[in-house]
Amino acid sequence: MVARRLLTVIVASVTIGCLSASSPSDGKGGPCPAGMAHVAVAEKRAFCIDRWEAQVVELRGKEEVAHAPTRPVTNLKVKAITRAGVVPQGYISKNEAEAACKAARKRLCTGEEWERACRGRTPTTFPYGDVRKAGYCNDQGRARLASLHPELGDGVYASGEAMNDPRINEAPNSVAPTGSFGKCKNAFGVYDMVGNLHEWIADVNGSRGTFRGGYYQDTHLNGDGCTYRTVAHDVSYHDYSTGFRCCADPK
């Protein structure tokens, strides 16, 4: 069963133009830093986006220290990194994700950028096409929240402590290492924009933040695939399902 939470959906139309045939190359003289894809749209401003959902490292002075992705980053100074084959950071708020991108000299993506990148070169509902394909993305997992906290009953979904229990994403069939689902990739070479973890974006509605794409247990409740959008939580909110990736301006 999908975790019950307060969900407010804002339906917005995103205009997506014809995509250019420019190379999505990154790093080594390309328009984007290493680990980022170049997204160029005719008559629209080009941008770079992380190929993989973000992991973080803790910054202690000039030292970068590994941080467990199933632990919140509250009161820590962290930096976003993007690479394949690592468990991405959940348990992070919009404000914390924004700071992590800034520390990496990047920023959170706008909603328009995020959706444009998700839909790919020829705009589709899912990164791989217009028809949902079971198992292409990490969208059939299970969050064992209720079984970990049976004493809370239906109140488990209102418990900040329970919703941030690290054991949820340490269990099998939960969050997957970045890029594990090879078919959950678009023509830009960007992975996991549907499923795995919700992704915070820069857009806000008052004090509420927005996350996109769904997570490993739900990619359709608030819109299908790349249209999935949740606007229900304060920018300081975090739980096991909330992750992010960064964008940047090209060179």
Q: DSSP assignment of 73-130, as one string?
A: -TT--EEEE--TTSPPP-S--HHHHHHHHHHTT-EEPPHHHHHHHHHTTTT-SBTTBS
pLDDT score for 29: 67
What is the mean predicted confidence (pLDDT) over 26-45? 83
What is the mean predicted confidence (pLDDT) over 198-221? 97
Residue 24 lies inside a defined structural domain of this protein: no
pLDDT score for 25: 52
pLDDT band at 45 (very low <50, low <70, confident <90, very high): confident
Q: Are 234 and 34 in contact (CB under 8 A)?
A: no
Check pLDDT > 80 for residue 188.
yes
Q: Which residue has the higher pLDDT, 17 or 118?
A: 118
Check pLDDT > 70 for residue 24.
no
d(CA 110, CA 134): 28
Q: Which of 5-9, 40-44, 74-78 has the highest mean pLDDT?
A: 74-78
* Beta-sheet strands, E only, within the chain: 36-39, 47-50, 55-60, 63-66, 78-81, 107-108, 198-205, 208-212, 229-230, 242-244, 246-248
What is the mean predicted confidence (pLDDT) over 167-195? 97
Check pLDDT > 60 for residue 7.
no
Residue 65 lies inside a defined structural domain of this protein: yes
**Chain segment 214-234, per-residue pLDDT in tens:** 999 999 999 999 999 999 999
Residue 149 lies inside a defined structural domain of this protein: yes
pLDDT score for 39: 96
Indicate the SS3 state at residue 175: coil
d(CA 39, CA 160): 37
Strand partners, 44: none
Residue 14 lies inside a defined structural domain of this protein: no
pLDDT score for 129: 97
pLDDT band at 22 (very low <50, low <70, confident <90, very high): very low
**Chain segment 101-158, per-residue pLDDT in tens:** 999 999 999 999 999 999 998 899 999 999 999 999 999 999 999 999 999 999 999 9
pLDDT band at 14 (very low <50, low <70, confident <90, very high): very low
pLDDT band at 237 (very low <50, low <70, confident <90, very high): very high
Residue 197 lies inside a defined structural domain of this protein: yes
Residue 16 lies inside a defined structural domain of this protein: no
How many structural domains does the chain have? Answer: 1
d(CA 248, CA 251): 9
pLDDT score for 171: 97
Residue 22 lies inside a defined structural domain of this protein: no
Residue 76 lies inside a defined structural domain of this protein: yes
> Residue 88's domain is classified under what CATH number?
3.90.1580
What residues make up the domain containing 237? 36-241
Backbone angles phi, psi at 226, to 5 degrees: -70, -10
pLDDT score for 16: 35
